[in-house]
Amino acid sequence: MKVVKFGGSSLASAQQLQKVLDIVKSDPSRRFVVVSAPGKRNPEDTKVTDALIKYYRSYTNEDDVSGHQEWIINRYKVIIDELGLSHTILDKISAAITDLATLPIEGNDFLYDTFLAAGEDNNAKLVAAYFRKNGLPARYLHPGKAGIIVSSEPGNAQILPGSYDKLEELRDSDEVLVIPGFFGVTVDKQICTFSRGGSDISGSIVAAGVKADLYENFTDVDGIFAAHPGVVHKPHSIKKLTYREMRELAYAGFSVLHDEALIPAYRGRIPLVIKNTNNPNHPGTRIVLEHSKQELPVVGISGDDNFVSINISKYLMNREVGFGRKVLQVLEDLNIRWEHIPTGIDDMSIILRERELTPIKEREIQAHLTQNLGVDEVEFERNLSIIMIVGENMKNQVGVMSRATKAMSDKGINIEMISQGSSEVSVMLVIQSKHEKTAIRAIYKAFFDQESQDKN
C-alpha cells in the first residue's frame, strides 16, 4: 500500500492533474493521496498559498478583499472548467474562500493558519471530485477526520503521537482517500499548519500512520541530484540514499523535501521515494533506512552560504573548566542558534548562520567574551560557505578526505575549517563563499567521474 503526495507544481493546472490521475490510476496500491495547494504554472505565477497570505493581510487590515477572493476562486475555476467538472464543486470552493472573510479577527490565533490551509483543503476537494468523475472511487477526507491531531503552535504545528493510531484505522478504506496536506487540527479543533512546504510532512505522517509500504513524494524533478544542477552541469540523480544522508544534504541547501518530513516516515520505517510527476517512469530517488551493499563512498555534495564564524582565542583555554559552557551561555542568552564548533587547544570557532546575528547582538557577544570571559581575541569572520560531502559508506573507505582536499588544492582553494562527526556520515568544509561553486564542481568531479557514475 502506498501513500502518494503531490506538490503544488504537480497540481497547478488541468494538464498536470491529468498526469496525477494517470499516476494514481496506474497502480491500485496508491490508496492515499496527499495534496498541496495549486502551485506555480510558470516562474512568474503566484502560488495559491501566497495569494492566501495577501488575502489574509488585506482582511486583517480591513481593506477591500474582493480582488484577492476573485483571483483565488478563478485559479480553481480555470482548472475546474478545463477538467469539465461540475460547478457544484466550484460553488463549494467559492463559498469556502469567501467565508474566510467572515471569521473573527480579534483573539483568533489560528486565523492566519485557517486562511493558508484553505489552499490545500479546497484543492483536495477538487482532486477527489476529478478522480470520481474519471471512474476512480475517491473521497476527500479532512485532516481532522483522518486523525491528524497537532500541537497548538500556529505555523509550526507538531504532530501529536496519538494521531497515528487513528490514522491506522484508514487502512481498511476501499476508496482512494484524498487528504489535504500542510495542516492538522488541534485538540480544540482549530486549524493549525505545519511550517511552509509542510504538505511533505502530512504525507509522511499519513504514510507512517497507515503503515504504508512506500511513501511516494511526487515533485517536478527526477529525484535528488548529487549536486545542485545550478552549480554542476547535468548532475546525475541519486538512485538511493539513506535518511541520514538525506538529512545532511538537506541541511546544506538541498530543498527537494521539507526536512521535518523525514521524521515520521523514518520512525515508522517507511521507505520514501521522490519522483517526477512529469516523468513518472523515471525511478527517482529512494530514501531507505540503510544501504544494502557497499556502494560509492559519497552520495552527494551540497553547499550553503551566509555563514559567520566567531573565532575566539584565549591562552590556556583547554585548562579552563566550563569555558565552553560559558561561551555558549552567552549565545543562549541572546537566543542565537549555532551550527558547528570546531576547536583547537586555545581557540574555538562557533559557526552560525548570518541571520542569527544583528549588530546589537554582535556587540553584546564581543563585550561578554572580552569583559566577562577574558578572551584574548574575538573575530567575526563573514562570507563563509559550508560544503557538505555526504555518504554513509565513507567510514569504510580510506582516502575520501584526501580526494576532496586534493580537489580543493588543485583549484587553489583554502579550507578554513574541517569538521567530521564521529558517525562519519558527512565531512564539512568551511571555505570562503567566493569559492563555493568552484569547490562543489571540483569535488563532484573528484567523486563522480564517468566510471563511478555508471556504477551509481
Contacting residues toward ligand ASP, per CB under 6 A: 8, 36-37, 47, 49, 119, 181-182, 196-200
Question: Would you say 197 is a known binding-site residue?
Answer: no
Question: Would you say 370 is a known binding-site residue?
Answer: no
Question: Would you say 5 is a known binding-site residue?
Answer: yes
Other CB atoms closer than 10 Å to residue 404's CB: what's the count? 24
Question: Would you say 220 is a known binding-site residue?
Answer: yes
Question: Of 96, 124, 99, whose CA–CA distance to 38 is shortest?
Answer: 124
Least distance CB 261 / ligand ASP (angstroms): 9
Beta partners for residue 304, in sequence order: 386
Question: Would you say 49 is a known binding-site residue?
Answer: yes
Question: Would you say 277 is a known binding-site residue?
Answer: no
Distance between CA atoms of residues 230 and 127, nearest Å: 33
Nearer to ligand ASP, 36 or 237 (CB): 36
Least distance CB 37 / ligand ASP (angstroms): 4
Nearer to ligand ASP, 144 or 155 (CB): 155
Burial of 313 (0-12, 13-18, 19+ CB in 10 A): middle
Nearer to ligand ASP, 13 or 49 (CB): 49
Nearer to ligand ASP, 143 or 342 (CB): 143
Burial of 203 (0-12, 13-18, 19+ CB in 10 A): buried
CB 370 within 8 A of CB 378: yes
For CA atoms 214, 138, 99, 91, the dihedral sign is positive
Element counts in the chain: helices (H) and strands (E): 15, 15
Least distance CB 123 / ligand ASP (angstroms): 9
Q: In this structure, which amino acid lies at residue 101?
A: A
CB-nearest residue to ligand ASP: 199
Count CA atoms within 13 Å of residue 14 on its CB side. Answer: 11
CB 377 within 8 A of CB 312: yes
Least distance CB 114 / ligand ASP (angstroms): 14
CB 59 within 8 A of CB 100: yes
Nearer to ligand ASP, 48 or 176 (CB): 48
Nearer to ligand ASP, 139 or 196 (CB): 196
Parallel, antiparallel or unpaired: strands 2-6 and 214-219: parallel
Question: Would you say 323 is a known binding-site residue?
Answer: no
Sorted by sequence, the CB contacts under 8 Å of residue 333 that are 6+ apart come out as none
Least distance CB 426 / ligand ASP (angstroms): 26
Least distance CB 154 / ligand ASP (angstroms): 14
Residue numbers belonging to the annotated binding site for ATP:
5-8, 219-220
Residue numbers belonging to the annotated binding site for substrate:
49, 120
